[in-house]
Structure 1
Amino acid sequence: MKKKFIYSFILLAGLSLAACGGKGKTVESSTTAKSTEKTSQTAASTSKTTTKSSTSQSSTKSSTTSETKTTDSQSAVKTDSNTPAKQAETVLDQLNKAFPNDQLPQAILTSQTAEYLTAATTSAADQGNFRILYYAEDHGITVNDTVVNDLQPIASFEKKSYASNEEAASAVNQIIDNGGSQIDLGYGITGYQQGAAGSSYLSWQEGNWSLVVRASNIGGEVAEPLAKEAVAYLETAMLPAPQTKGQISLTASTSDSYQNNSVVWQKGMIIYTIQHFDALQALKMTVSTNK
């Protein structure tokens, strides 16, 4: 009986409002839209809370060919995404606190005014061996958010510990090649260029660092311009000092793969590796570990 009475009351109210120009229908539609909007916001809020309450650990691509992904059991760390610059500052601060025993890169983005930085990390429980993947997107994303599993990294930083200094030095895989034609790279540095298997390689030495630029002959690429640009940059910037060996491998080709360029150096029984899709940014990222 109560239900019938309520339905009758609603029907009478609806007829009365309709007689006043259909305003009752408009109010009902507006109320429904607001209710739907609140329900949607509540669902979004619940989803975010679920993501942020995950346990702390995200994984990155392994140093081999396998890749592990961030799962629901791994945590997303909240970041302040008011602006790209603020987002980057917050992300770097969180990473520095997570891995306090190492000097992490402080320059990753190619354009900090237009890109939001985020990252995914392996467990901070192992301070002797870890990896960080960096991402640049057009919107803010929390650190270790599972959404990065479907995104393309722009760079990586890895620390790996070995049993001895000798084993670590061997893992650098330093390339020293003084064969081929000589090329003046400026600043008193001579490079040596030779070709193999459709590519040309331009190598030179700077202290304990060995550097090489690879260019594809098939694509009509030339190694010399990038090599000269790298030499000029390193005249004004200081790389970390390898204990005995360091290897920088750059490519003249354009690629969105973060493994396109690499910088590897030894510090005692530890090997640090930086990779970046942009050749010069790989150098800048490495230099920023001194800051």
Structure 2
Amino acid sequence: MKKIILLGALLLTLAACASKTPAANSEEDKSTAQTNATTTTTDKNSETKTKSSESTKNTTKSSSSEKKADALAKLKKENPKTLLPTNIPRDENRALNIAMDKQKDSLAVLYYIMDAPLVLNDQSLNQQTPFARYKMEQFASKDAAKKAVNYQFDEGGQKVDLGHDITAYSQGAAGSTYLNWKEGNWSIVLRASNVNGQDGTALAKEVVNYLEKAMLPAPKSVGQITIDMAQNGYESNQVVWQVDKTVYTVTHEDTIPALEMAVSMNK
């Protein structure tokens, strides 16, 4: 009888232990889950901070790179006393890159329009084609500077009314028509191709209309504008003028932008 009672008690004790064990395991699981959740959150926060830090570094690096590649600012910084164009007409959505050649008595600048900004005088510009150019050259005398302008004005030929009391003189030669007129100390020569059916008079009137509202630098003593409609590239529109012993030249692939460059130098 005692053996039966003891065996029953033992079974009750084992049953009680069995019922308590899952509860204990449940608490341990909850504790472990909470710890894992905390660890995961910490890892995520750490990852977020790391990404944020990397993003900040990349942004700073990109900003620093763009600042370093600001060729126009670098050009101005290296030539603080030189009269430079402040307006370089172009596609503002693309980068302006610059090559500079500085000598004792001259400064030549080529302007390029590209997808990415480059530092001043980047080597890769040697394989690119410029759209505009600037040059400053100092001569030994005023006469030498005046001769370098290559001023030309011819009143021969048929008169053409360009409006605003401006009269041009038209002459034909070798499949081209030349229009020549004066505005102050400036002489303007425009060449149009008859073979290509170009209308020089229409462009000449556009130039005159523009110059009615914009003021070119005052030459001391002469200035020359040469427009070649039959030519392509940055040399096709040229504005040259003398200031004492110094000669300034700006060129652009388009006519009005070439004038705008020169106008921006009117101090």
Q: TM tier, shorter chain?
A: 0.7 to 0.9
Does the 8 A contact of 1:109 with 1:136 survive in 2? no
Secondary structure (helix, strand or coil) at the match of 1:193 reads strand
Please provide the CA RMSD for this pair.
Answer: 1.7
Matched with 1:267 is: 243
Larger Rg: 2
Deviation string for 1:56-98 (max 9, x for gaps)?
A: xxxxxxxxxxxxxxxxxxxxxx6439xxxxx7xx433222221
> Deviation at 1:119?
0.3
Q: How far apart, in 2, do the equivalents of 1:117 and 1:258 lie?
A: 15
Q: How far apart, in 2, do the equivalents of 1:211 and 1:141 lie?
A: 36
Q: How far apart, in 2, do the equivalents of 1:107 and 1:91 lie?
A: 14
Percentage identity across paired residues of the two chains? 43
Matched, 1:133 2:110: yes
Does the 8 A contact of 1:92 with 1:106 survive in 2? no
Secondary structure (helix, strand or coil) at the match of 1:178 reads coil
Matched with 2:212 is: 235
Deviation string for 1:210-234 (max 9, x for gaps)?
A: 0011101111112111111111111
Secondary structure (helix, strand or coil) at the match of 1:212 reads strand
Secondary structure (helix, strand or coil) at the match of 1:282 reads helix
Structure 1 unaligned residues grouped into runs of 5+: 1-77, 82-86
Q: How far apart, in 1, do the equivalents of 2:160 and 2:151 lie?
A: 21
> Deviation at 1:177?
1.0
Letter in 1 for 2:75: L
| Structure 1 residues 78-89: aligned runs within 5 Å | 79-80=66-67
> Deviation at 1:145?
0.6
Matched, 1:206 2:183: yes
Q: How far apart, in 2, do the equivalents of 1:93 and 1:289 lie?
A: 17
Matched, 1:283 2:263: no
Secondary structure (helix, strand or coil) at the match of 1:204 reads strand
Matched with 2:100 is: 121
Does the 8 A contact of 2:225 with 2:238 survive in 1? yes
Secondary structure (helix, strand or coil) at the match of 1:235 reads helix
| Matching residue within 134, 137, 151 for 1:160 | 137
Deviation string for 1:121-168 (max 9, x for gaps)?
A: 013x63x31100000112222221101000000111111111110111
Q: How far apart, in 2, do the equivalents of 1:93 and 1:234 lie?
A: 29
Matched with 2:86 is: 106
Q: How far apart, in 2, do the equivalents of 1:244 and 1:166 lie?
A: 10
Pairs aligned (count): 203
| Matching residue within 142, 156, 160 for 1:179 | 156
Secondary structure (helix, strand or coil) at the match of 2:67 reads coil
Matched with 1:64 is: none
Letter in 1 for 2:91: S
TM-score by length of structure 1 reads 0.66
Q: How far apart, in 2, do the equivalents of 1:154 and 1:219 lie?
A: 23
Higher helix share: 2
Does the 8 A contact of 1:109 with 1:117 survive in 2? no
Does the 8 A contact of 2:91 with 2:113 survive in 1? no
Matched, 1:96 2:72: no
Deviation string for 1:155-192 (max 9, x for gaps)?
A: 11111111110111111111101111111111111111
Letter in 2 for 1:260: S
Structure 2 unaligned residues grouped into runs of 5+: 1-64
Q: How far apart, in 2, do the equivalents of 1:279 and 1:98 lie?
A: 29
> Deviation at 1:99?
1.3
Q: How far apart, in 2, do the equivalents of 1:252 and 1:231 lie?
A: 16
Secondary structure (helix, strand or coil) at the match of 2:226 reads strand
TM-score by length of structure 2 reads 0.72
Q: How far apart, in 1, do the equivalents of 2:132 and 2:202 lie?
A: 23
